[in-house]
Amino acid sequence: MTFYQSVFAGELTMSTYDELQASQDPADAEKIMHAQLETEAGLVLMGADVPSGMKYTTGDNFSVSLSGENEAELSGYWDKLSGSGSVTVPMERAPWGDSFGMCKDQFGVDWLVNVSGS
C-alpha cells in the first residue's frame, strides 16, 4: 500500500488484525486487516492481508478495490489493468447502481473497480 501511495499520492491509513481485535490467531496479529488510500482526486484504494483461516495461494492472497466517481478515469484504469490480464466479472451496472467489474492484472493481482452511480 505504501507503493500505491507513491503512485497515486494521498492519505494512507492501515490497521492490523490485532489493532481491530479481529483475530484469535496470533499469526494474524500484524497482518493488515484494513488499508485505505484516499487520493486528492477522490479515488479510494483499499486492501487487506488474508487471515490464516482463509485459503492462501501465492499470487492470489489479496485483492485491491478501486472506487471513485470519475468514470473516464476509472474506466482507463480498468482498461489498463484488465488489458494484459483477464476479466473475472465484466465492467457493467451492478445491482447497487454503480458500475462494477473484477479482473486479474498481468501480475495475478485481483482488482475490484467500482464507479459510483449518480
Which residue range forms the structural domain that includes residue 7? 2-115
What predicted TM-score, i.e. pTM, was given to this entire model?
0.58
- The x, y and z cell numbers of residue 77, run together, are 484504469
Give me the pLDDT at residue 115, please: 95
Residues in the chain, pLDDT under 50 = none
Question: Above pLDDT 70, what percent of the chain?
Answer: 94
CATH value at residue 29 = 3.30.720.110
Give me the pLDDT at residue 13, please: 96
Domain count, the chain: 1
Give me the pLDDT at residue 60, please: 63
User: Within 13 Å of residue 66, how many CA atoms lie on the same side as its CB?
Assistant: 23
Closest-CA residue to 8 (of 40, 49, 50)? 40
Give me the pLDDT at residue 35, please: 93
**103 DSSP β-pair partners:** 87, 111
For residue range 38-71, list pLDDT tens digits in order. 988 888 888 888 888 877 776 666 788 888 898 9
Cβ 46 vs Cβ 65: under 8 Å:
yes
